[in-house]
């Protein structure tokens, strides 16, 4: 989501990455790396899951985080979303599961374009599993 971090000052980080790739995989010296920025990071399940994991590691309340990201996803134009958190939420003794959703997610339809990600957040009290489903719409047009 932040291409400036990958590029570095005056391209130093990207040049180091290029040299490492050339050495490791025996690629040609004139290797070209093209960096693209996410236009809207809230339309990528992996980005959303990683951001939620980072917030949980900092100790923020999980309900507030999940609801905030659902709102961000909704305003990004996604038709449906589901966020599932499993583990020792808020440091509880017994692990449990919480789901947060809006819209529809047709998981039994082949036609549906669903982005899915699973990320584990290692917190002080244990590991929390984060699953994110984003329903972008149908892949094909309806032919009647």
Average confidence score pLDDT of the chain: 90
**Res 61: pLDDT:** 95
Q: What is the pLDDT of residues 50-93, one digit of tens each?
A: 999 999 999 999 999 999 999 999 999 999 999 999 999 998 99
Q: Please give the residue that has the higher pLDDT: either 27 or 99.
A: 99
**Res 15: pLDDT:** 85
Q: How many helices (DSSP H) and strands (DSSP E) are in the chain?
A: 4, 4
| Ramachandran region, residue 91 (left: φ > 0; alpha: ψ -120 to 50; beta: rest) | left
Alpha carbon dihedral 81, 45, 120, 130, in 10-degree steps, equals 0
The neighbouring-strand residues paired with 85 are: 98, 130
Instruction: Check if the beta carbon of residue 83 is closer than 8 Å to that of residue 99.
Output: yes
The percent of residues above 70 in pLDDT, for the chain, comes to: 98
Measuring CA to CA, which residue among 96, 90, 95 is closest to residue 124? Answer: 90
**Rounded mean pLDDT of 3-14?**
79
pTM: 0.80
Q: What is the pLDDT of residues 115-138, one digit of tens each?
A: 999 999 999 999 999 999 999 988
């Amino acid at each position: 989501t932040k291409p400036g971090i990958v590029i570095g000052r005056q391209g130093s980080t990207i040049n180091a990455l290029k040299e490492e790739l050339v050495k490791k995989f025996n690629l040609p010296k004139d290797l070209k790396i093209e960096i693209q920025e996410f236009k809207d990071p809230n339309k990528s399940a992996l980005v959303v899951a990683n951001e939620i994991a980072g917030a949980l590691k900092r100790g923020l309340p999980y309900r507030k985080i999940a609801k905030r990201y659902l709102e961000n996803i909704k305003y990004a134009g996604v038709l449906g979303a589901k966020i599932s958190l499993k583990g020792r939420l808020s440091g509880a003794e017994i692990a449990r599961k919480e789901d947060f959703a809006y819209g529809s997610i047709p998981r039994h339809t082949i036609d549906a374009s669903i982005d899915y990600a699973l990320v584990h957040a290692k917190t002080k009290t244990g590991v929390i599993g984060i699953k994110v489903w984003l329903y972008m719409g149908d892949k094909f047009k309806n032919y009647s």
